[in-house]
Amino acid sequence: EVNQEILTGQAVVYGLAVGFNLVLIVMSIIGKRMTWRAVRWHVLNSSVWNIVFTVFYASYGERTPWKGYIQNADCSITVKKIFRINKNKYNSGMVFVFIETLIVFFIPTLDNNFIFSMLWLVLICGFSNACILFCFLARIIWSDAVVDETWWYDPITFYQIVIMCLFIILIPVYLIIAIVASIISCICKIKHRVHHHLELWGTLIYGLVVF
């Protein structure tokens, strides 16, 4: 049996997690200090998913004061798949953020461009989530038998492998391009604002935080 102090502490952590992510959602939607860039939509998307995962962890986690509060047989069956999505959600968004950051560094005029920003909103919050939901719902829509017969790999596992491979490949590629871009920018005296260089390297660090 889990100690009551641990359960109380866990309840505080869940509450703070939801509150913090709600603040990030509000900042992502109406925040005036955040640039209209891919990272804005990545923060928004990740924050929404973090709240979803926290709600499920609060019911199905090993150390939670509200264990079993979700009384739904379907959720009990699919909760493991939901937790598996959590492992790659951050990385899938960062793949787009890396690409967008490099594009803006080489084409600074796209910085805070509304149409360019909407493109990444669609990719990060639309396309990325659509892929996740398709992989998650595949077995529900077509049944396990049909999926096992037509797919050579489990949809969610396949999604995780693809995202992880893209992320791992993109890290060294991004690093090389960032180094070369910074050197060329200095040698050729290309006009870049300081924040573009800080963003170029800050994005790399940001992407590696949970790696």
Contact 91/164 with Cβ under 8 angstroms?
Answer: yes
Q: pLDDT band at residue 211, thresholds of 50, 70 and 90?
A: low
| pLDDT greater than 70 at residue 189 | no
d(CA 49, CA 85) in angstroms, rounded, equals 10
- Residue, of 96 and 34, whose pLDDT is higher: 96
Q: pLDDT band at residue 44, thresholds of 50, 70 and 90?
A: very high
Q: Identify the pLDDT of residue 193.
A: 65
Q: Identify the pLDDT of residue 192.
A: 59
Mean pLDDT of the chain: 85
Burial class of 30 by CB neighbour count within 10 A (0 to 12, 13 to 18, 19+)? exposed
* C-alpha R_g of the chain: 20
Q: pLDDT band at residue 59, thresholds of 50, 70 and 90?
A: confident
| pLDDT greater than 80 at residue 207 | yes
| pLDDT greater than 90 at residue 188 | no
For 55, how many CA atoms within 13 A lie in the half-sphere containing its CB?
11
- Encoded tokens for 172: 């060294």
d(CA 48, CA 25) in angstroms, rounded, equals 7
Q: Phi then psi for 141, rounded to 5 degrees? A: -75, -45
**Which whole number is the average pLDDT over 31-39?**
85
State pLDDT tens for residues 162-186.
999 999 999 999 999 999 888 887 7
Contact 37/93 with Cβ under 8 angstroms?
Answer: no
| pLDDT greater than 90 at residue 138 | no
- Residue, of 10 and 100, whose pLDDT is higher: 100
Q: Identify the pLDDT of residue 63.
A: 78
| pLDDT greater than 70 at residue 190 | no
CA dihedral 174, 179, 185, 191 (to 10 degrees): 50
